[in-house]
Amino acid sequence: MTKESTASGVEDVRREPVTFQVEGVPLVGELFLPADYDESGTPLAGVVCAGTWTSVRQQMTDRYAQKLAAEGLAALSFDFRTYGESGGEPRQIESPQMKARDIIAATEFLGTREEVAADRIGGMAICASAGYMAHAIGQGAALKAFVTSAAWLHDPTTVGLMYGGDEGVQKRIDAGLAARERFRSTGEVEYVPAESPEDPDAAMVGVEFYEREDRGNLPEWTNRFAVMQWLEWLTFDALAPARSVGVPSMFIHSDDAALPDNVRRFHAAVSGPKTLCWMEGEHTEFYDHDPLVTYAARAAAGHLRTALGA
């Protein structure tokens, strides 16, 4: 296990590469621990960290995991199936259902680590993983607390707001169905850019975070989106499991982040103890801008420590 230095130069975390399995596929990640963790001491509360759609862990999840470890938690950051260093074919498959199962597997894995108290594990979801993690909780993931940062929570009634209305949604669904049939017939996977400054067929258009090499355009990231996944993504209902979320939950968001009214709707529907933590910042600034990320991570850590008895 190696030590990690923060921007301030203070060595405050330790990190270890890890690999675990889900449905026979290896998932690769890193476990972050406080620098002063004592292997002979009491196991720590743990947190599974998950990132945005199309992302790899180096873009934002590692950053949150490091900060949570500096706050005294054992934090797992990992690549979903078909992304980054994790296995799975075809590559760059954006499947909310599959990613929910990956989160369940990550929670189970973290509970096997001797550094972690298996009955004190929470979840930290950034952007689209908020919906994936909520579904995982609804499906029985052993997460005892839940935090989101800049949650992307769409449902079929609001997804058109982001994709050009009903016409834009249907255009992408039609393209996805054609691509899925092509894959079934030939094995060929059709891709478009995950992000482009100007290509209208890209999954995201004009999202600066993914264009800048000093932000999200990292060597570990592959700028592709499998067109055949449009149907599953656009019909995904991230709001549906809200009432099944009975664990203490915190929603960190802003009016300038994506779909703030949906975050309020989700918060209102959650059945367990819940907190809205409203900040100021554009959506992608919650991925990598300080001091915003530090504020968000500290708020999340406080919530998790209280909810998990850390």
Q: Where are the domains of the chain?
A: 2-163+231-308
- Cα 218 from Cα 212, distance rounded (Å): 8
pLDDT given at position 41: 84
Q: Residue 160: is it exposed, middle or buried by C-beta count within 10 angstroms (0-12/13-18/19+)?
A: middle
Task: State the CB neighbour count (10 A cutoff) for residue 102.
Answer: 29
Q: Is pLDDT above 90 for 40?
A: no
Per-residue pLDDT at 58 exceeds 90 = yes
pLDDT in tens, 118-134: 999 999 999 999 999 99
- The pLDDT, as a whole number, for residue 9 is 36
Give the span between the Cα atoms of 142 and 131, in whole angstroms: 16
The Cβ of residue 51 has, within 10 Å, a number of other Cβ atoms equal to 31
Q: 287 with 297: CB under 8 angstroms?
A: no
CA-closest candidate to residue 238, choices 207, 272, 265: 265
**pLDDT tens profile 220-278:** 999 999 999 999 999 999 999 999 999 999 999 999 999 999 999 999 999 999 999 99
Q: State yes or no: pLDDT of 8 exceeds 80.
A: no
Q: Distance between CA 91 and CA 184 in Å, rounded?
A: 15
Whether 95 and 107 have beta carbons less than 8 Å apart is answered as no
Output the six-digit token pair for 151.
């949650």
Q: How far apart are CA 268 and CA 275, in angstroms?
A: 10
Q: What is the pLDDT of residue 266?
A: 98
Confidence of residue 1 (pLDDT cuts 50, 70, 90): low
Per CATH, the architecture of 2-163+231-308 is what? Answer: 3-Layer(aba) Sandwich (3.40)
The reported pLDDT for the residue numbered 3 is 55
The encoded tokens of residue 195 equal 């992000």
